[in-house]
Structure 1
Amino acid sequence: MTYSLITVEQAKSPVSEAFRTFRTNVQFTSVDSETKKIMITSAGPREGKSSTVANLAVSMAQTGKSVLIIDADLRNPTQHKLFGLDNSRGLSMALVQEYELDTFIQESSVPGIMVLTGGPIPPNPAELVGSKRMKRLIEEVSGQFDIILIDTPPIVAVTDAAILAQEVDGVILVVASAEVNRDYAQRAKEQLDKVGAKILGAVLNKADLKTSEYYYYYYYHGSEAPAKKRKRHKHEKKTTFFNLLHRNQKDVS
């Protein structure tokens, strides 16, 4: 599988512009209360939550923010692949060893972004992310970075995400346009509500740019040539569209 950061490699693409809109919408959630620690999860696998985390981080860093990504998907860590980092050390080791946290946090090639990769896959992921040390770790890094983005496993499959949802300022749910199961998405929202999570919104992922409302909005405002004359790049056949929704029942229904 090829991993890439479209917000870095194609900064002027419609998808990158959508991420900037996504970033702005997230920032507006901080009007009444601080939204610094953000967890991003999905209902099921392969919905694109990890790439959403990484590209949102890039968009935020581009505004001068210092961003830390924590890969808390200890069952299937991905952030080290997206940023080309070593995963021989990371969160799983930071939670069981007594070394300074700085020992495990790595600098990415993107200015302003640091990454705490998942590390070696442990036998007890839920126990680790639900530990007091994990809670202390999140609080510690909160004083060192402007934004903390936490990548977690799908919330319906395991308990890890529900546990972490109680330690953050807000949660974003990623749903894949072509793959989302409505019942799964509803269950995901119900699980987040059950633990008292503040749901910032939902992200509609993997929608076809050519047919999405955003595609026409983008070209209407003259960012590039008109839509009818534009050739789509090969990798845009399964490209993504992001839409941060308001928190209500319509988010996933």
Structure 2
Amino acid sequence: MNNIVTIENPKSPIAESYRNIRTNIEFSNIDKDLKTILFTSSQQNEGKTTIVSNLAVTFANLDKKVIIVDCDLRNPSVHKKFKIGNIYGVTDVLLEKKSFNSCVKETDVKNLDIITAGEIPFNPSEILSSKKMKEFINNLKEVYDYVFIDTPPIGIVTDAGILSTYSDGVAMVVGSGEVSIELAKVSVERLNKINANLIGVILNKFNIEGTNSQYGYYGMYYEEDNGSRLSRNKKNKRKKLNIFSKKK
């Protein structure tokens, strides 16, 4: 597996951090039925797919039936993380070229399935905004306890915004030291404008001084309405992760 530390080294501090994020998501699910959770970021290479993959494993380990849906129809990468093929997937199901059962792939992790993106279309936004796509997501909710949706960066294209209207919650991934505060704020504003249910922000690639881990550390906190936590990114670098505060 490629950087799926929850499989390769489940007793590591990083794997424990993912389990902490899982707990935070579970807490946010107390009063709301969060079954479909969309993951996006401001720009490419913030580690979004790595986080989706690892979190899916931690939820599957709770004996929950989980599926990862690769809805990045521009630059799909979930199949690379799990080292599986991407010949058929989401687009093939929506275009009725293949059945869902022929496209869904079981993993070596019990309770965890994947449906890759499939053939890359020339009109991804139109496909994702279709009635068939909405029905597809709703049907998955009937079969799985959790549906994790990997999407393109909201700061670059509109795809994640479209899919957020079908999702129960949205998690924003922010690469520490890699994305500007301004772009991160713009990304959050875009989600707020379409009334997406932003359940939290995952601070990724955050290295604690003195650690030798090749993965870095991960943490999650709830975004305040005015986005001020993003502006305190530099101060947070001196603190341990797994910061968690309820949304005001």
- Same fold by TM-score greater than 0.5: yes
The alignment-based identity, stated in percent, is 37
2:24 is matched with 25
Q: Which 4+ stretches in 1 moved above 6 angstroms? A: none
Higher mean alpha-carbon deviation, 159-168 vs 93-102, is at 93-102
Is 1:200–1:247's contact at 8 Å kept on the other side of the alignment?
no
Deviation at 1:99, TM superposition (A): 3.8
Matched, 1:240 2:239: no
Q: 1:14-163 residue pairs with structure 2 within 5 A?
A: 14-97=13-96, 99-163=98-162
Matched residue SS, 1:140: helix
Q: Which amino acid counterpart does residue 219 of structure 2 have in structure 1?
A: F
Q: 2: CA distance between counterparts of 1:56 and 1:173?
A: 14
After superposition, the Cα gap between the structure-2 partners of 1:136 and 1:247, relative to the gap in structure 1 and judged at 3 Å, is: farther
Q: What is the distance in 1 between the residues matched to 2:229 and 2:8? A: 30
2:75 counterpart letter in structure 1? N
Structure 1 CA distance, aligned partners of 2:77 and 2:222?
A: 25
Offset at residue 56 of structure 1 (A): 0.4
RMSD value, Cα:
1.5
Deviation at 1:247, TM superposition (A): 4.5
1:252: which partner in 2?
Answer: 230
Supply the distance in 1 between the matched residues of 2:176 and 2:75 (Cα, whole angstroms): 22
Kindly indicate whether the alpha-carbon contact (under 8 Å) linking 1:69 and 1:115 is maintained by their aligned counterparts in 2: yes
Structure 1 residues without counterparts, runs of 5 or longer: 212-230
Consecutive unaligned residues in structure 2, runs of 5 or more: 232-248
Q: Secondary structure of 1:26's match? A: helix
Q: Show CA shifts across 1:56-76 (max 9, x none).
A: 000111111110100000111
Q: Paired residues, what number? A: 230
Give the counterpart letter for 1:69 in structure 2. I
Counterpart secondary structure, 2:135: helix
- Which has the larger displacement, 172-181 or 101-110? 101-110
Q: Give the superposition deviation at 1:98.
A: 5.1
Q: TM-score scaled by structure 1?
A: 0.87
Alignment of 1:151-230 (within 5 A): 151-210=150-209
Deviation at 1:241, TM superposition (A): 1.6
Q: How far, CA to CA, are the matches of 2:188 and 2:78 in structure 1?
A: 24
The TM-score normalised by the length of structure 2 is: 0.89
